Amino acid sequence: MNSQNHEEHIQHSFDSYCKKILKRKTLDLYRETKRQNERTVAFSEMSERELSQLTTVDKYFTDEYIFTVLGENIFISDYELAEALNKLPQYRRDIVFMSYFFDMTDSEISQRLNMARRTVAYHRANTLNELKKLMKNEE
């Protein structure tokens, strides 16, 4: 076999190899596309429940109200609740925040505010009742 025939043979072998690779790659891409199309569902074909699972709502700080208690910021995103809390005196609002946001007991709150424990319990109960009334009036 002379060198020119040998080179032609190598070129044909390489050409054949490249064609096989391209055919196989094309088949792989075709199969993958077919598989993806079988799994793909159009938004118009989805139920409301399925669509709601795909959505999210961004909440930004502009929609939140900030109250500061014990040097900590408390974020309230409900407008009616924030308005009702703003109508309360500071010390009563602090008692509610310490109780529900900081999980402090009446004894711990009374020590922090220099009040009797029963006074704290009384103010907390009255404040919650007042909040209920304020929130019902706003509806």
pLDDT band, very low/low/confident/very high, at 17 (cuts 50, 70, 90): very high
Q: Within the chain, what is the greatest distance between any pair of CA atoms?
A: 110
Q: What is the pLDDT of residues 30-79, one digit of tens each?
A: 999 999 988 888 888 888 888 888 888 776 656 788 888 888 888 888 88
| Predicted structure pTM score | 0.54
Cα separation, 30 vs 32, whole angstroms: 6
Whether 138 contacts 80, CB under 8 Å: yes
Q: What is the pLDDT of residues 85-107, one digit of tens each?
A: 989 999 899 999 999 989 999 99
Task: Find all residues with CB under 8 Å of 35, minimum gap 6, and list them.
Answer: none
